């Protein structure tokens, strides 16, 4: 099994606002473009795409609205680019996993781990949290293509596992929905400032979703229950 769970780059928005990118006129245009994207992604997640005004984005970057149109031809293109960056993050990881050795179950476990990590990064969150129907049909089709690829990868891992007996017999389609759903949902409740570290979430999800909640037979009667913690102030299942 892949033991080395590599570190995911921390969510840049949290660590460093991108408002400096436009401070200097002679800055790399690509840097500015990314600054716009990071800011937009942040706002899209915070207020929703529809309620995020071009002005909001511009204001955060201390530039004017029309300046945005130097880098993106319209609002939707910003949205689409967020999707692209997010899906690229995911695909990257999946390719690595697919290239590695291991049972199907191990690959699923790795998938969950890596995917969960991406779901804590703004661009990754955008992929699953934002509403596709804000995209034009053409752009939507593109995004759906990316998502389908992810889905196919997961299903293939599951199928591998069924074939190599590491995964119990089941409908791989449903198993994929269930597994991916749990991980996707992270993007709905994860908060960068929250108490849970991305890696911790990822590791726990990886185990739970592969080995289940049910206790194995013959567990010792007395357990330390060490993992139970006082429940912090956290909103619930959804937000």
Residues contributing to the site for DNA (CB under 7 A): 22, 24-26, 29, 32, 51-55, 58, 63-67, 69-70, 73-76
Q: Binding partner of residue 16 among a copy of itself, DNA, none, CB under 5 to 8 Å per kind? A: none
**Residue number, 20 or 65, with CB nearest to a copy of itself:** 65
Q: Any idea what the Cα angle at residue 58 is, between residues 56 and 61, rounded to 5°?
A: 110
Q: Does 74 bind a copy of itself (CB under 8 A)?
A: no
Q: Is residue 36 part of the contact set for a copy of itself (CB under 8 A)?
A: no
Distance CA 135, CA 82 (A): 12
147 contributes a contact to a copy of itself by CB under 8 A: yes
> Residue for token digits 């899209």?
44
How many residues bind a copy of itself (CB under 8 A)? The answer is 78
Assess 6 for contact with a copy of itself (CB under 8 A): no
Q: CA 191 to CA 122: how far, in whole Å?
A: 10
| Residue 138 binds to a copy of itself (criterion: CB under 8 A) | no
Name the 3-class secondary structure at 215.
Answer: coil
Task: Identify the CA nearest to 182 among candidates 155, 161, 205.
Answer: 205
Residue closer to a copy of itself (CB basis): 3 or 225: 225
Is 189 one of the binding residues for a copy of itself (CB under 8 A)? yes
Residue 158: which of 97, 103, 96 has the closest Cα? 103
């Amino acid at each position: 099994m892949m033991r080395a769970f590599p570190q995911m780059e921390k969510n840049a928005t949290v660590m460093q606002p991108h408002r400096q990118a436009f401070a200097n006129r002679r800055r790399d245009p690509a840097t500015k473009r990314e600054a716009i994207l990071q800011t937009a992604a942040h706002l899209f997640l915070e207020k929703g795409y529809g309620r995020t005004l071009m002005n909001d984005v511009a204001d955060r970057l201390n530039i004017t609205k029309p300046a945005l149109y130097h880098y993106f031809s319209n609002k939707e293109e910003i949205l689409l680019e967020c999707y692209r960056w997010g899906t690229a993050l995911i695909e990257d990881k999946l390719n690595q996993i697919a290239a590695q050795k291991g049972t199907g179950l191990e690959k699923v476990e790795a998938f969950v781990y890596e995917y969960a990590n991406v779901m804590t990064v703004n661009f990754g969150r955008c992929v699953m949290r934002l509403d596709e129907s804000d995209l034009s049909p053409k752009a939507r089709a593109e995004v759906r293509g990316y998502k389908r690829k992810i889905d196919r990868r997961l299903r293939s891992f599951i199928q591998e596992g069924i074939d190599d007996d590491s995964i119990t017999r089941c409908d791989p389609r449903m198993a994929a929905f269930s597994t991916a759903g749990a991980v996707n949902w992270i993007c709905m409740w994860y908060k960068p400032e929250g108490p849970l570290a991305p890696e911790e979430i990822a590791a726990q999800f990886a185990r739970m979703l592969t080995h289940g909640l049910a206790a194995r037979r013959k567990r010792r009667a007395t357990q330390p229950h060490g993992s139970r913690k006082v429940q912090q102030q956290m909103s619930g299942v959804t937000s």
